[in-house]
A and B are shown apart, each in its own frame.
Chain A
């Protein structure tokens, strides 16, 4: 791996984004707008306060998943990937470049969403705001990494778009947002343990409710981080120098 090539790749991707103002605006603002919408749907501070932390994880996760899977699929299906595979750049340099570029966008997205939730929407949290931002950003990064991986299994953009309900929705349904995970039937509870988003939502809930940074919180964060790394490495394995 080479830091210079990874950074060159991130710079290239961010430059591509810079030419596409509408996409940037949507990526940065969409989660915030959805949270504002939710606040007025509930029209109740307490109900909003219970759901919002989880959604601070869920919205960036879903948006980054779909943006990344489409962008990488585009790279895979146009000749640029084939050209890159003939050049002295490692697969992890390429995926690392994607992760850093979209990671930065995710941080911007989360900062705006958290800022608006805490000020305008009146969300109150017990723990550290920065920890909240870190967890939400890690979550967006998880969406990015899974999107990179999912793009390997899609041949067309139509298929890639459908991976969003296939990969993201079950995680949202099982993460404890709609029903507490402990109250689910054992099979579903067991499934929810397999989904990385569950750990992120647990971590966010904890930061909202208490200022303690304990073993459970650290474990949850490590699980999410490990899933990010695993998805990136698996994603690299799906990039082939030689194709049929």
Chain B
């Protein structure tokens, strides 16, 4: 067993005529929260889709929990929350979760556990289609928490949440890591980056940096991660 939950080597992805990932290399250590940060359209979602194995890949290799990404043995070991909420609008939160729990053969009480974890207890019997944007996102996140996934890939899980809820979710992400899970969380907000153990800064289909937040601040001689990002972008423009 390697110490990395995800290893990506030379990953190239083409969408239509355009190449959106240009030979990405990275490693996500087990038992960490790794933030995937970059502007919208930089390839975060494509990278995450490649990790969970639903993306057609043009080249390179993606290894997840020691197996090639997308291999059948990985199904059920990865929790994935897509950017667009993936829950049935015409079911209640609880009914939707029951279905996914049945697929994962997760224990029944798991449904109640994840409802509490995402703070939807008071809305468990509401139709998903009537939830607000933030609640909808949390209902979708709850599905990814079912069972005991070793790797969680969460695409922008905190969009549209009020600061208090966002704070609670980040605390939960760290609790999951204490239980032994590995998380890859994408975000386009820099203030969330500070809460990650490691950061992958992404731009235009390239990884600009793969480091801890502290090391990034030191390397770019700034306290502000937003500034650090800008510095790295400019460095790259000079060298290329």
Contact = CB atoms under 8 A, between A and B. Distances in A.
A and B co-occur in one complex:
yes
Nearest to B143: A83
Contacts of B95: 12, 15
Contacts of B53: 86, 241-242
Contacts of A180: none
Given A86-B52, A86-B78, A87-B76, A8 B103 contact: yes
Interface stretch (A53-61, A74-82, A133-141, A144-152): A74-82
Interface string A206-244: 000000000000000000000000000000000001111
Interface stretch (B3-11, B86-94, B195-203, B222-230): B86-94
B106 to A, nearest CB: 11
B205 to A, nearest CB: 15
Given A12-B91, A79-B84, A242 B54 contact: yes
Given A12-B95, A19-B127, A87-B103, A243 B75 contact: no
Interface residues of B, number: 36
Contacts of B127: 19
B186 interface: no
B70 interface: yes
A179 B82 CA distance: 52
16 contacts: A12-B95, A15-B91, A15-B95, A16-B90, A20-B90, A79-B140, A83-B82, A83-B100, A84-B103, A86-B53, A86-B75, A87-B75, A88-B75, A242-B53, A244-B15, A244-B16
Interface of B: 14-16, 49, 52-57, 70, 72, 75-76, 78, 80, 82-91, 95, 99-100, 102-105, 127, 140, 143
Interface of A: 4-5, 8-9, 11-12, 15-16, 19-20, 78-80, 82-89, 241-244
